[in-house]
């Protein structure tokens, strides 16, 4: 969280798998209840309904303003970020983003969606929050994650932001983003998750929990039998090979450019990929994009001041 005068600038990275702020990460699964849930933990109470947040992930939708889920997730994310500073009431300027090639068309609709209520009161984990939303800055996904280190981007560079639902690809030449050379592919980590679940079912006739596959993808191993681990590993290696094949379609050449990978897919590339570590940089901070949103929004608001 950054602050300008009395306004709290809070970034929310609306991923399909996880929703991130500068200091928090929460899976996007959301379930509604008419009465207070039995077990505690990430419970949002808003307009008389209880929502458990963080069990599983939200399915891919091309327009994040299609339902109310991302609005509720935004309230939760802001509450978690404020809670880290012991704050319950604030004037908030949101900083968020959209996939590279969608931001131009969806920006204003998503801004209206996020600012639908100027004043909002709700409870999260038993604590009351009172928010006054005073504005919202929206940016293209991926690029903000590396904006603080643009000094490293000499010559030709390719940025791949691999999230749960999409992969955003952007060329950055001599520290400048090339808007005419950016693309969004529906080729996120969830595609690998689905393939791994189906492979285990086809090979062994059993269903495997997503949390187990997630552990393998994130750490390269899990406490499961070797045949299952080998099956998931084979799928992950194929997925990472497809990532590089996709990048080559967009003229990626490791001899002529450096590759920077951000987002949750970076751990798969590290665990299961074959690449030249001297020419590929994987940024491990899953909150890097949210931090970049805050940095850019703060700079923009300061210029206006």
- Residue 102's pLDDT is what? 85
The domain that holds 270 is classified in CATH as 3.30.420.40
The reply to whether 304 falls in a domain is no
- Asked if the model's pLDDT at residue 296 lies above 90, the reply is yes
33 and 151 assigned to the same domain:
no
- Residue 55's pLDDT is what? 87
- Residue 152's pLDDT is what? 87
Range of the domain at 178: 147-189+223-284
Within 13 Å, how many C-alpha atoms sit on residue 116's CB side?
Answer: 12
- Residue 64's pLDDT is what? 87
178 and 254 assigned to the same domain:
yes
The reply to whether 173 falls in a domain is yes
Q: Name residue 7's beta-bridge partners.
A: 4, 91
Q: Provide the 8-state DSSP code for 150.
A: G
pLDDT cut 90: percent of the chain above it:
88
- Asked if the model's pLDDT at residue 280 lies above 90, the reply is yes
Task: Quickly state the pLDDT bin for 65 (edges 50, 70, 90).
Answer: confident
* pLDDT tens digit sequence for 69-125: 999 999 999 999 999 999 999 999 999 999 888 888 899 999 999 999 999 999 999
132 and 166 assigned to the same domain:
no
75 and 160 assigned to the same domain:
no
121 and 17 assigned to the same domain:
yes
134 and 153 assigned to the same domain:
no
- Residue 162's pLDDT is what? 96
**SS3 for 25?**
strand
- Asked if the model's pLDDT at residue 220 lies above 90, the reply is yes
Task: Quickly state the pLDDT bin for 273 (edges 50, 70, 90).
Answer: very high
Q: What is the mean pLDDT of the chain?
A: 95
64 and 174 assigned to the same domain:
no
55 and 127 assigned to the same domain:
yes
- Asked if the model's pLDDT at residue 133 lies above 90, the reply is yes
120 and 180 assigned to the same domain:
no
* pLDDT tens digit sequence for 224-262: 999 999 999 999 999 999 999 999 999 999 999 999 999
Ordered DSSP codes for 132-196:
EEEEEEEEESSHHHHGGGGGG--SEEEEEEE-SS-EEEEEEETTEEEEEEEEEES--HHHHHHHH
* pLDDT tens digit sequence for 164-194: 999 999 999 999 999 999 999 999 999 999 9
- Asked if the model's pLDDT at residue 57 lies above 80, the reply is no
The reply to whether 185 falls in a domain is yes
108 and 183 assigned to the same domain:
no
The reply to whether 217 falls in a domain is no
The reply to whether 198 falls in a domain is no
Which of 75, 105, 140 marks a domain boundary?
A: 140
11 and 101 assigned to the same domain:
yes
Q: Provide the 8-state DSSP code for 284.
A: -
- Residue 62's pLDDT is what? 76
* Two tokens, residue 97: 């983003």
User: How many domains, the chain?
Assistant: 2
């Amino acid at each position: 969280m950054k602050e300008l005068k009395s306004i709290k600038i809070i970034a929310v990275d609306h991923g399909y798998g996880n929703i991130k702020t500068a200091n928090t990460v929460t899976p996007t699964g959301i379930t509604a209840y008419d009465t207070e849930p039995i077990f505690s933990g990430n419970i949002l109470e808003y307009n008389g309904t209880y929502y458990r947040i963080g069990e599983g992930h939200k399915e891919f939708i091309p327009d994040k303003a299609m339902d109310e889920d991302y609005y509720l997730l935004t309230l939760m994310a802001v509450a978690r970020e404020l809670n880290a500073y012991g704050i319950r009431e604030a004037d908030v300027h949101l900083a968020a983003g959209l996939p590279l090639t969608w931001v131009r068309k969806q920006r204003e609709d998503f801004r209206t969606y996020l600012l639908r209520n100027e004043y909002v009161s709700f409870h999260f984990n038993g604590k009351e929050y009172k928010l006054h939303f005073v504005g919202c800055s929206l940016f293209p996904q991926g690029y903000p994650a590396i904006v603080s280190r643009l000094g490293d981007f000499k010559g030709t560079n390719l940025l791949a932001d691999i999230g749960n639902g999409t992969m955003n690809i952007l060329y950055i030449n001599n520290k400048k983003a090339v808007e005419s050379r950016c693309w969004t592919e529906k080729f996120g980590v969830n595609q690998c998750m689905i393939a791994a679940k189906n492979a285990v079912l086809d090979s062994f006739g059993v269903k495997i929990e997503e949390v187990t596959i997630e552990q393998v993808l994130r750490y390269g191993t899990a406490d499961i039998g070797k045949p299952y681990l080998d099956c998931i590993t084979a799928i992950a290696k194929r997925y990472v090979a497809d990532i590089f094949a996709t990048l080559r379609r967009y003229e990626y050449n490791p001899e002529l450019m450096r590759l920077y990978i951000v987002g949750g897919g970076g751990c798969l590339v590290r665990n299961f990929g074959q690449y030249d570590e001297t020419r590929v940089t994987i940024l491990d901070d899953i909150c890097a994009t949210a931090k970049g949103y805050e940095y850019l929004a703060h700079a923009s608001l300061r210029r206006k001041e």
